[in-house]
Structure 1
Amino acid sequence: MKILLIEDEVKLAGFVQTALEQAGYVTDHETDGAAGLQAAMVNSYDLVLLDLMLPSQNGFDILKNLRAFDNQVPVIVLSALNSTEQVIKALDAGANDYLKKPFEMQELLARVRVLQRQKTVKNQAKVKVNDLEIDVYTRQVKRGDKQINLSNREFLLLEYLMLNPDTVLTKTQILDKVWNMSFDPGSNVIEVHLYQLRRKINEGFEHQHIQTVINRGYTLKTVAVAS
């Protein structure tokens, strides 16, 4: 799950980002309203955590712009504006939830999990490609009868590959979906993680599900099922 945090209180944002990443979520952070809106429109996020009082563009306008362009990314508002009128205004503008500051980090994580469960139910809890199966919510991975343990980042990589089978995914696409925007594209961290993931998924099996396509990217190759 990839989350965008739009919050100009740097200290609070640091605490939130640390808690989210420790819980296994990939998190980007913007301190400016206009920059946050651009990030939400350009990149693919599973959730936006949005402050309302922001420089350059406030949270209400961000919500209205997202929904006006049919961007339906779930949004949880995090705000010190605690009147009933402000809550109603944010929800009517398109927010999915509203958490008043100050808040307990465990409550925020619980609300994130609620939206994650809703998304899982709406889509599907399990994704299966031939003999390879993942559970999006429990993060269990199984190939045939073999249980496979993956790190959080490896799981996100595998999920992305399995949702796009037989499609060559470029390093840039993987970077956008699985890594932070601030990640250095010149680094070999993607190659290192794909090497580890490929070893765990392919080792001991004749068919090599995860394959490198030279000079293009990576793909999860399916096996044709005889009719």
Structure 2
Amino acid sequence: MRILLLEDEFSLRISIKEFLEDINYEVDDYADGLDAYDAIYSKSYDLLLLDVNVPSMNGFELLQSVRKDNNKTPAIFLTSMTDIENFNEGYKKGCCDYIRKPFELLELELRVKQAILRFYLDDSEQIMISETIFYDMLKGKLMLSGKEIVLRKIEKDILELLLKNKNSVVSMQMFQEHIWGDYVEPATIRVQVNNLKQKLPDDIIQNRRGMGYIIER
């Protein structure tokens, strides 16, 4: 799971980043709204953590702009604001939650998990791939008949992208944009997908020649 963090207070930003990385999230951190805005269009994120009062483009403006481009990535505002009108403004711009500063990092963890569960997993931490295969999106664990299948980071990223687009073909371009963030040779993608396929039953990940890969369930 990759998170974008926008927070201009240095010590708080580093504390949040280190905490989230310690519990196995990937975090890209920014202090400037425009830098964060550019990153959203160059990479793929599973969650946006946005301070409201930041330089160049505030959190409200940033989220409003990406929502206009039909980016539905869940977003949580981090703010010291207490005025109900400000909260209302944030929800109108498309956030799913607020965290009031100062906050405990445990609260942040809980809110992040809930936002991900609501948006991606329909309140269930485990995604059923087949009758014997489950993937825990939050813990990044793949279980086959009750035993964990150890995955490398790139294999987890590929599997999660396929599961988020279950029953739809994931194209080479989507793999490039969402996982590598830049152009890579299709042969490299095929090698990594095949490495993952070897750890799963034959029919789980299917190739659609000339189109990409799909998990159908």
Q: Distance in 2 between matches of 1:173 and 1:44?
A: 10
Unmatched runs of 5 consecutive residues or more in structure 1: 211-218, 223-227
Q: State the 1:15 CA deviation.
A: 0.9
TM alignment of 1:1-227, pairs within 5 A? 1-119=1-119, 120-121=121-122, 125-128=126-129, 133-137=134-138, 139-143=140-144, 146-150=147-151, 154-160=155-161, 163=165, 176-178=177-179, 198=195, 202=198
Q: State the 1:115 CA deviation.
A: 0.9
Q: State the 1:150 CA deviation.
A: 3.7
Per-residue deviation, residues 18-70 of structure 1 (Å, max 9, x unmatched): 11111111111122111212222343211100011111111121122122222
List, as ranges, runs of 4+ consecutive aligned residues in structure 1 with deviation greater than 6 Å: 164-169, 219-222
Shift in CA distance, 175/108, structure 1 to aligned 2, threshold 3 Å:
farther
What's 1:214 paired with? none
Unmatched runs of 5 consecutive residues or more in structure 2: 206-211
Q: Distance in 2 between matches of 1:124 and 1:147?
A: 16
| Aligned-partner residue type, residue 198 of structure 1 | N
Identity rate, percent: 28
Shift in CA distance, 24/57, structure 1 to aligned 2, threshold 3 Å:
same
Q: Distance in 2 between matches of 1:95 and 1:166?
A: 26
Q: Distance in 2 between matches of 1:134 and 1:125?
A: 5
Computed over aligned residues only, the root mean square deviation of the Cα atoms, in angstroms, reads: 3.9
Q: Distance in 2 between matches of 1:175 and 1:154?
A: 14
Shift in CA distance, 81/185, structure 1 to aligned 2, threshold 3 Å:
same
The answer as to whether partners of 1:41 and 1:71 remain within 8 angstroms in 2 is no
Shift in CA distance, 185/8, structure 1 to aligned 2, threshold 3 Å:
farther
Q: Distance in 1 between matches of 2:202 and 2:85?
A: 58
Q: Distance in 1 between matches of 2:86 and 2:168?
A: 47
| Aligned-partner residue type, residue 102 of structure 2 | P
Q: Distance in 1 between matches of 2:108 and 2:179?
A: 22
Q: State the 1:107 CA deviation.
A: 0.3
Shift in CA distance, 129/174, structure 1 to aligned 2, threshold 3 Å:
farther
Shift in CA distance, 151/19, structure 1 to aligned 2, threshold 3 Å:
farther
Rg larger in structure: 1
